[in-house]
Amino acid sequence: TGECDSPTCGHLTGKEGRKTMGQFIIVSFGLLVVVLSLRGTRADHHCPPSWASYNEFCYMVYNRSVTWNNAERFCLQQQPDCHLASIHSKPEAAFIVGLVYHGASSGSSVWIGMNDPEKRHAWQW
């Protein structure tokens, strides 16, 4: 189905993590892609201005150079349930790539929710 439903989903190591990351390159500084969780049915939700809707979530490319931790803090300042984007399907990844392509400065890198807090090449959402 393309959905992320295995027990190891979102937890990648070494080459597997780098391969799966595809166009999302994690660097010390970058742009950030923000995802905001919305409640309710698909028919009755609306995203704030300048945010894009996909599968009951709202996404925004925020063009500002910050660290991963500051990017996540920025998300939480927007709304308590707002976080860096976590990608759970190929269609969602394609949607986010399109947003980044059209919304980010040329040649920029982006932050997503995947992180390696212990610096062991064990990526997790």
Q: Give domain limits for the chain.
A: 48-124
CATH topology classification for 48-124: Mannose-Binding Protein A; Chain A (3.10.100)
Is the full-model pTM beyond 0.95? no
Q: What is the pLDDT of residue 116?
A: 63
Token pair for residue 70?
């500051």
The parts of the chain modelled with pLDDT lower than 70 are: 1-45, 103-125
Token pair for residue 90?
């190929």
Q: What is the pLDDT of residue 10?
A: 42
Q: What is the pLDDT of residue 12?
A: 36
